[in-house]
Amino acid sequence: MSQELRVTEKAGKTVEEAISTALAELGLTREEAEIEILEEPSKGIFGLIGSRPARVRVKEKLQPDKVACQFLQEVLRAMQIAAEVKVNKENEGFYISFYGKDLGILIGRRGETLDALQYLVNLAVNRRLEEKVKIFLDVEEYRRRREETLIKLAQRLSDKVKRTKKHIVLEPMNSLERRVIHTALQNDPAVYTFSQGNEPYRKVVISPRK
């Protein structure tokens, strides 16, 4: 699996003209291309004899989202799953969502399959880049719904800790889900949270403040 990077060389009366011609041919913006000036224009003797145009080489930059989508499409084909893939670019990285029927297999038990796939696609993308990017995967907004469920759980258990004055140990969670619990209760003056145990059995503990 690899993204085919297009490249072209163009000439023009000026460097800018040559670059514009090359970008237009590839259908790229300057941000999407690597530009190399091969030769500056020369007017030659008396501006006529031996004059040379400017020459440039323009190459398409590696697009992380394209690499990720190619990798994921191969995974979907191998699993014989039909799904629509949508990509959104945000400050933290690229958010890729799957939409379709019977996609529970991509989520797995409590998101374990989705987490594993997210780990693999990040490896596949970042091994080809100089600057690392983050790829986040979701299926039919599963992560958003799961986050809402965890926040409600945190609030309910926090109330129980306040009533009983006893700490509560939650079931094992991955680091992302533990962070949701910690964040949900970080401003609660009556309780505090911490994690204990080793992966993959690390758990969040909610305790009363003394």
Query: Per-10-residue mean pLDDT for the chain, 210 residues long?
Result: 76 88 88 86 64 87 88 91 89 89 87 90 88 90 91 96 95 90 95 92 92
Task: Give the whole-angstrom CA distance, residue 80 versus residue 61.
Answer: 31
At 203 the pLDDT is 94
Task: Give the whole-angstrom CA distance, residue 55 versus residue 178.
Answer: 55
Residue 199 near residue 181, CB atoms below 8 Å: no
Task: Give the whole-angstrom CA distance, residue 199 versus residue 189.
Answer: 28
Residue 111 near residue 145, CB atoms below 8 Å: no
Tell me yes or no: is domain 64-140 CATH 1.10.1740.10: no
Looking at the structure, give the CATH architecture of the domain made up of residues 7-60.
2-Layer Sandwich (3.30)
Instruction: Give whole-number Cα distances, 68 to 3, 81, 113, 178, in Å.
Output: 10, 17, 17, 26
At 112 the pLDDT is 85
Q: Within 13 Å of residue 50, how many CA atoms lie on the same side as its CB?
A: 3
Residue 135 DSSP SS3: strand
At 129 the pLDDT is 81
Structure tokens at 139: 């299926």
Q: Where in the chain is the domain with CATH 3.30.300.20?
A: 64-140
Structure tokens at 118: 């997210």
Q: Where in the chain is the domain with CATH 3.30.30?
A: 7-60
- Per-residue DSSP letter, 45: B
Q: Which CATH number fits domain 144-208: 3.40.50.300, 3.40.718.10, 3.20.20.80, 3.30.1370.50?
A: 3.30.1370.50
Question: What dihedral do alpha carbons 122, 78, 146, 164 form, nearest 10°?
Answer: -90
Q: Where in the chain is the domain with CATH 3.30.1370.50?
A: 144-208
Give this prediction's pTM. 0.68
Q: How far is CA 147 from the centre of its chain?
A: 18
